[in-house]
Structure 1
Amino acid sequence: MRRVIPLVPTLAAFWLILSGHYTPLLLTLGTASVLLVVLIAWRAGIEDRTTPKIERWPRIPSFCLWLGGQVIQSSISVAWQAWLPRPDLQPTVGIAPTDGLSPLGEVIYGHSITLTPGTLSLHIVGDGVRVHSWQRSDLEALRAGRMLAEVRRLEAP
């Protein structure tokens, strides 16, 4: 139950930012939805595994900025390939290692891969994430470990 306390303001702030509407009806519905999500998380016991520790929160904006830069860079690359008369595509499927990430870290890593245009995480396997990549070089970049290092930095105690 102690982990539910930081979850409430976090979800409420997230809802307010995404909603952008502050009428009494929508604020009431937003409050109800936040409380429902917290109740479901508490009943399922997942708040202990998914709520980031407060000391890690300052790292989240820098990770989001870094990931945003990667998304922009990949978007330009994908757009460039799409506009070429003969794109040099080398679609491939392979494993990007997770090397001891926590389950939450694996989820963040997988979602970060999917958010980056040209790559798609298919599923988490024993010691990595199975990835479909538009370019072989994108999969090799994931194996080089820059994104993994950023997720590890986000997760570090």
Structure 2
Amino acid sequence: MKIVIQRVKRASCHIDQELVSEIQQGLLLLVGIADNDTEQDIAYAVRKIANMRIFSDEQDKMNLSVKDIPDGAVLSISQFTLFAETKKGNRPSFTKAGSPDHAKALYDKFNQAMAEEVPTVVGVFGADMQILLENDGPVTLVLETKDGRGL
């Protein structure tokens, strides 16, 4: 899994100019899934993201997680383009992205697991979405579940 984590003051997902989901302060997650991702990747990602201390405390130090802030929430958006191969030519290849059936099943499980930790809303898997956000900081991180953990 590859997940772009953005600390936001607010974020929303629209399809055809209709609001689908929105959050106030929290995390916008762009979630990419590969065919070799498993439920073990989900458990690792959820644990890391829910407990990641990237929100400021009273001393303006990044000591709080999304679970620690008032009304903290997650907006999760499926994002197969995170697996784009761009080395050859000018048209990205997406062959490393998970097959739609596998990716949707894991994306749904990821969102269910995330919702057990923190209020979570989602976009629509496979849809043409417009994502609006106000990045806070900006703080933007990338989490890869297969980066040296032996998965």
TM-score by length of 1: 0.31
Q: Larger % of strand: which?
A: 2
Q: Which has the higher contact order (CA 8 A, sep 6+)?
A: 2
Query: Which of the pair is proportionally richer in helix?
Result: 1
